[in-house]
A and B are shown apart, each in its own frame.
Chain A
Amino acid sequence: MEYEVVMGLEVHVELATESKLFCSCSAKFGAEANENVCPACAGMPGMLPAVNKRAIELGIIAGLLTNCEITRTITFDKKNYFYPDLPTGYQITQLYAPICRNGFVEIETGAGKKKIRIKQIHIEEDAGKLVHDYRTGSSLVDFNRAGVPLVEIVSQPDFRSSDEVIAYLEKLRALFSFAGVSDCRMQEGSMRCDVNISVRKAGSKELGVRTEIKNLNSLKAIARAIEYETDRHISAIETGCEELVQETRRWDDNSGETYPMRNKEDATDYRYFPNPEILPVHISEEWISEVKSGIPELPHEKYERLTKEYGLSDYDSKLITGSKNISDIFDRTMEYVNNPKEVANWIIGDLASIAREENVPGDEIRIDCEKFGKVIKMVENRVINRTIGKKVLQLVFREDMDPEIYVRENRLGMIADTGYLEDLVREVIAANEKSVLEYKAGNQKVISFFMGQIMKRTQGKADPAAVNSILKKMLS
């Protein structure tokens, strides 16, 4: 019996604004508990919501990137429920007039290209955070995140595999991070995903019982949870060992299973009603055009530019445009070194390997691009050799010191004086007769040995090209 899994996604993305959606508190991640809080987002009475213009703009951009219709007059509504992380006892969201509708995202998996339809995108405020104190048995509430603007992207149930889900999330992430909508970091919670999943016999038109999976904190967890839940559904259908009910389930990454959630979310009556404190927000054609023209270069646009204008390889271009951070480093370094192939090589080769050694993931690489540029230039201008260059880069990465000063103070300048090098080579050849014989017998690897010896004697500063040609000349 062949089964088909049918899935829809609700993705919450934290918008990259300076301040919160309805008050001027900082929306930045990482502050100490309740530092970014005012009477409004702490649930005190007396303040009134003031709509953040940039949040609306980012909502418009999210809609443009996903080919949605932008609603011209949007309104906000109140959704009522009680939970300690919800300071006012209601969430301001959009039920009746969401900002975007009827879009799509194109994804590509091993199985080919596909369009995932987007039902709607709406803007809403985030809740605070609860931290559990195991010693005292109490819960601690931090409202820093309460009121931070989110967009919720609701897809149609168009997904048929976890590969498609992952491709979609990566695509959203690429689009949104490049366009400045959000940094989409699942580990930091700026992108969250709930999966609605059901299973049916292949070829059937009817949908099976649907369950919702929450608490998916990484792409890996999503893939595992989809696999688990699909199996659970199939098993329930085939053996009847358990009854499938429409419910919300929580993924437990440790046990690798889903469990029904205690608070029956489906049964809650949220008593939605239009928010009279927030007047309708009008989105004009002019504003949409203005916003559209302000969208930074998107990954696929940049890919085109890197391959066509700069002649970078498909592999290199994909790597650079695969991460907003790497792409930014490329752009900024290009301001100092106008040589795209060199910059690409240094990033993909040297910088990437340094980051790996230091255990820093691509998105978190931080480097002063002016200094990076200086290193590249020094190598280009034969002030230092490539190997020294990489060592200096490593120090710039770790300690952010000025490479030119460092090279000068430590006298790392490249040794290219032919006379001096010829003397050195003669010395090394003379001291290693056996190796010379091996070379003459046909062992090319001896050149590396001699090169190593020269480098040792010059503390790595010799010009490798010069040494190579001298060696070849003298050994022939």
Chain B
Amino acid sequence: MDREFFASRYETKTDNSFALDDNIMVRGGLTTAGSKMLQNFVSPLQATVVDRLLDAGMELAGKTKIDELAIPTVSEDIFATLSGAAGAVSEGLCRIALCNDVSGKNRRQAPAKGLYYIHPTYGTVSRFGLVPAVSSMDQLGVVCRDIDDGFNVLGIIAGHDEKDFTTFPEKSYSYAPKEGPFRIGIPVNVMEAADEESGNSVNEFAGRLGAEKFELKYFEVLPQVMYILSCAEIGNNTSRYDGIKFGYRTENYSGLNDLYTNTRTEGFRPDMKLATIIGAFVLSKKNYEAYYLKSMKIRRLLREHADELFSRFDAVVMPLRLKDPEPYRNMALYAFATLCGLPSVSIPFGSCGLQLIAQARNENILYGICKGAVKDGI
């Protein structure tokens, strides 16, 4: 059972233990990030979040398996294979787990296992010691069984890190559920595209708490924007993997160019290679303006739209699945929060679960809504 979820396992009790996705570094241990490229990589660094959890007295249960580098993929059904973190927590092999949920996989899958996933505001949790996928979107979040536990752990790992200049100045956070009532928004255009079961869970929730309808702008182009921006950064974050300094090196080379091309062709899975090629494509001189620059502009429009939305609503509710099973299209459900750096929580409400998104730094609103939902009986 363990082996299904863990990339490497440590000897611990489970009642005070945490698991880490295998892209989070522990000094002296392997950090493979689910990639052949890092198959034997032993990091000399330790992630700040690990230091903080260990200092708080928690124990490391192990490293959970992830899809290669935790990147959003579009050819394989990223949502079909179970997240190692969600699996390990749901099997009781550890109390909580940390993940980088750029792809949305954990937000999608946690509720199906009866778990919560807390995805914090970008800039809340240090990324020092995280193998980066998409630097402008990566953020470590918490898989947990119990929402109070989850926010308690978030309070331990969150806070300014002088080793990560992209963290907010606040030294520490202590989360407490905000009191309602809450103004909830429900995006009609997204709901139209949602699959039935997922839509029902959202509607049930909206019915109980009351929700106002709105149109989520740019929803139709979120897959493109998300994928274009992600691929460019992913391709760039992985250009350091070349078999020279560490990691996988091909056995098949005669000169420098072969060393590069064979190592990188053999070391990455096809979906990763697709993302890399697309990354080069959207950044090339010919295409930069039409694709990459364009996407950065739409990202700004989206962020402005979010500001406008959250002046009307405390939180927005979203389904977890679309009728269209294509992973590329489903990315849009998670891209809104990810692109804008907004906090979101996936909760096991109803038969399918749902996600709630709030304005940046408003985790306490999400916490408050969750407590209310628990009261109402999940």
CB–CB B129/A271 < 8 A: no
Query: Which A residues are in CB contact (< 8 Å) with B132?
Result: 45-46
B127: Cβ under 8 A from any A Cβ: yes
B260: Cβ under 8 A from any A Cβ: yes
List residues of A (402-429) whose CB comes within 8 Å of B's CBs.
none
State A232–B285 Cα separation when bound (angstroms). 32
A433: Cβ under 8 A from any B Cβ: no
A273: Cβ under 8 A from any B Cβ: yes
CB–CB B44/A80 < 8 A: no
Query: Which B residues are in CB contact (< 8 Å) with A49?
Result: 165
Given A47-B163, A78-B236, A80-B239, A276 contacting B131 (CB threshold 8 A): no
What DSSP secondary structure best describes chain A's contact surface? Answer: loop
A279: Cβ under 8 A from any B Cβ: yes
State A53–B285 Cα separation when bound (angstroms). 32
A43: Cβ under 8 A from any B Cβ: yes
A34 to chain B: closest CB distance in Å?
10
Query: Which B residues are in CB contact (< 8 Å) with A87?
Result: 240, 245
State A50–B165 Cα separation when bound (angstroms). 6
Given A48-B164, A49-B165, A84 contacting B244 (CB threshold 8 A): yes
State A278–B239 Cα separation when bound (angstroms). 18
Query: Which B residues are in CB contact (< 8 Å) with A47?
Result: 45, 128, 163
List residues of B (109-137) whose CB comes within 8 Å of A's CBs.
127-132, 135-136
CB–CB B232/A43 < 8 A: no
Interface residues contributed by chain B, number (CB under 8 Å): 38
B364: Cβ under 8 A from any A Cβ: no
List residues of A (32-66) whose CB comes within 8 Å of B's CBs.
39, 42-51
CB–CB A90/B239 < 8 A: yes
A47 to chain B: closest CB distance in Å?
7
Query: Which A residues are in CB contact (< 8 Å) with B135?
Result: 276-277
- Find B245's partner among A43, A82, A90, A269 (CB 8 Å cutoff): A43
B67: Cβ under 8 A from any A Cβ: no
List residues of B (225-246) whose CB comes within 8 Å of A's CBs.
232-233, 236-237, 239-240, 242, 244-246
CB–CB A44/B245 < 8 A: yes
Residue interface bits B155-168, CB-to-A below 8 A is 1, else 0: 00000000111100
A interface, size bucket: 20 to 34
* Residue in chain A with minimal CB distance to B239: A89
Residue interface bits A157-169, CB-to-B below 8 A is 1, else 0: 0000000000000
B354 to chain A: closest CB distance in Å?
30
CB–CB B166/A80 < 8 A: no
A237: Cβ under 8 A from any B Cβ: no
State A90–B238 Cα separation when bound (angstroms). 10
State A269–B163 Cα separation when bound (angstroms). 32
What DSSP secondary structure best describes chain B's contact surface? Answer: loop
A279 to chain B: closest CB distance in Å?
7
B256: Cβ under 8 A from any A Cβ: yes
Query: Which B residues are in CB contact (< 8 Å) with A42?
Result: 245
A321: Cβ under 8 A from any B Cβ: no
Query: Which A residues are in CB contact (< 8 Å) with B45?
Result: 39, 44, 46-47
A88: Cβ under 8 A from any B Cβ: yes
B25: Cβ under 8 A from any A Cβ: yes
State A90–B280 Cα separation when bound (angstroms). 13
* Residue in chain A with minimal CB distance to B257: A82
State A141–B285 Cα separation when bound (angstroms). 30
List residues of B (284-305) whose CB comes within 8 Å of A's CBs.
284-285, 288, 292, 296
State A415–B283 Cα separation when bound (angstroms). 82
B39: Cβ under 8 A from any A Cβ: no
Most buried by B among A46, A49, A90: A46
B43 to chain A: closest CB distance in Å?
6
CB–CB B244/A44 < 8 A: no
Query: Which B residues are in CB contact (< 8 Å) with A88?
Result: 239-240
CB–CB A45/B131 < 8 A: yes
CB–CB B233/A271 < 8 A: no
Query: Which A residues are in CB contact (< 8 Å) with B242?
Result: 82, 89
* Residue in chain A with minimal CB distance to B237: A45
CB–CB A276/B136 < 8 A: yes
A391 to chain B: closest CB distance in Å?
55
B47: Cβ under 8 A from any A Cβ: yes
* Residue in chain B with minimal CB distance to A42: B245
List residues of A (71-113) whose CB comes within 8 Å of B's CBs.
78, 80, 82, 84, 87-90
- Find B236's partner among A50, A90, A279 (CB 8 Å cutoff): A90
Given A48-B165, A271-B280, A141 contacting B43 (CB threshold 8 A): no
CB–CB B47/A273 < 8 A: no
Given A46-B45, A46-B128, A46-B130, A51 contacting B240 (CB threshold 8 A): no
List residues of A (89-144) whose CB comes within 8 Å of B's CBs.
89-90, 139, 141
Query: Which B residues are in CB contact (< 8 Å) with A274?
Result: 296
Given A82-B260, A87-B240, A141-B244, A48 contacting B280 (CB threshold 8 A): no
Query: Which A residues are in CB contact (< 8 Å) with B239?
Result: 80, 82, 88-90
Most buried by A among B135, B163, B242: B242
CB–CB B43/A279 < 8 A: no
Residue interface bits A285-323, CB-to-B below 8 A is 1, else 0: 000000000000000000000000000000000000000
State A88–B163 Cα separation when bound (angstroms). 19
Q: List 23 A-B contacts (CB under 8 A).
A: A39-B45, A43-B240, A44-B45, A44-B246, A45-B131, A45-B240, A46-B25, A46-B131, A47-B45, A47-B128, A48-B127, A48-B128, A51-B165, A78-B236, A87-B245, A89-B242, A90-B239, A271-B280, A271-B283, A271-B288, A274-B296, A276-B233, A277-B166
Leading 3 A-B pairs by shortest Cβ distance: A89-B239, A276-B136, A271-B283
> Given A44-B240, A44-B246, A80-B283, 8 more contacts at CB 8 Å?
A39-B45, A51-B165, A78-B236, A82-B239, A88-B239, A272-B283, A273-B232, A273-B288
Binding site for B on A (CB under 8 A): 39, 42-51, 78, 80, 82, 84, 87-90, 139, 141, 269, 271-274, 276-279
